[in-house]
Amino acid sequence: MAINKHSLERAGMCKVDGGEVGYRYYEPHNEAYKKRAPLMLIHGGPGGSHIGMYDALNKLADTRPVIGYDQLGSYLSPAKVTTSLMQVERFAEEPRYLLDHLNVDKAVLLGHSWGGVIIGEFALKYPDRVAGLVFSAPLLSTQRWVDDCNGLLAQLPLEMQKTIRECEANGTTDSDAYKAADEFFGKRHFCRASRKPSSVAASAKRSNREIYNKMWGPSEFTHSGTLGDYDLFPRLNQITAPTMFICGEYDTATPATMKDAQAEVQGAKLHVVPNAGHACITDGYKNYTTALKSFLKDDVDAQAAKPPAPKL
């Protein structure tokens, strides 16, 4: 019988601008591992939940603390999120509130998809609170994302391309034909596993579609929400923390875009998970976690072990 090497130490609510967010703090039993910089899981969406991420990555809590929380308006953090609160800057403050609440000096931030926006903005505003960054299949630029998705759409059978274009143009995305084409696209570029993992299903079940629609829009191919002009690329070169970009081979966060992002961050690493889509954490679980553990050991923990540079 397997022995659990970590446990849920704390769970509760943390005050943030506009309400409270629900969090969970896991800690390894090993005393030395407890001293490592915690890994904070920042979920996608907008409107998703960290629970699916923890379900997939819980073994990481055996060797370092892991913090998970749901953003305001999401599953563990119910709130009436008005348009005025659906701003990138407000979401990017939530990790600071939580780190202060937990008395954590700095953390490794892993942001998946939309979570990449949050960790990028947080790192630029609070570099001293960041031990490392993992951009996991991240949204870095709305226009780049839409362009990449439409490039992938162009690889679908012509009839499916036509169906998606026409249904989105005339507002019939609830039709069976559109749903079939969208599902086909999803099996190619979102979750490629023959059987959808429970962690992916858990995330979908707990999603707040209202937040997604208001911040992004009705589909991956077009945008009409508050994220319409978002672009982190011009500021990526200001990031100084150890950084890794990771995505799936067939991801909507394409390897080409991730390679361009890697070139902007000094010393950044890039890992592409073979035969994986946007759900690269689960599509290529072993490959993904091996790369992540290597980054945490060789870049984050190695950096933390170095003596501080002398003050001039």
The alpha carbon of 101 is separated from its chain's Cα centroid by a whole number of angstroms, namely: 22
Residue in 55, 70, 148, 251 annotated catalytic? 251
The answer to whether position 64 is within a domain reads yes
The residue-averaged pLDDT of 17-27 equals 96
The verdict on residue 174 lying in a domain is yes
Summarize the confidence of residues 118-136 as an average pLDDT.
Answer: 99
Number of domains in the chain: 1
- Would 310 be classed as within a structural domain? no
DSSP one-letter code for 237: G
Count of residues in the chain: 312
Measured over the CA atoms of residue 144, residue 251, residue 183 and residue 185, the dihedral's sign is: positive
Residue from 144, 142, 123, 145 nearest 132 by CA: 123
Does a structural domain hold residue 309?
no
Q: What is the CATH number of the domain that holds 16?
A: 3.40.50.1820
Residue 14 within a domain: yes
Assess if residue 311 is contained within a domain.
no
312: pLDDT confidence band, cut at 50, 70 and 90? low
Report the pLDDT averaged over residues 208-234. 89
Which residue out of 112, 189, 223, 278 is catalytically annotated?
278
Considering 49, 113, 203, 219, which one is annotated as catalytic? Answer: 113
pLDDT of residue 1: 38
Domain for residue 308, yes or no? no
The predicted structure's pLDDT at residue 41: 98
Domain span at residue 268 reads 6-303
CA 163 – CA 96 distance, rounded (Å): 44
Q: Is 100 inside any structural domain?
A: yes
278 is catalytic: yes
Q: At what angle do helices 94-101 and 115-125 cross, to 10 degrees?
A: 70
Confirm whether 299 is a catalytic residue: no
Supply the pLDDT for residue 225: 86
User: pLDDT (tens digit, 9 = 90+) per residue, 147-184?
Assistant: 999 999 999 999 999 999 999 899 888 899 999 999 99
Share of the chain above pLDDT 70, in %: 95
**Does the active-site annotation cover 49?**
no
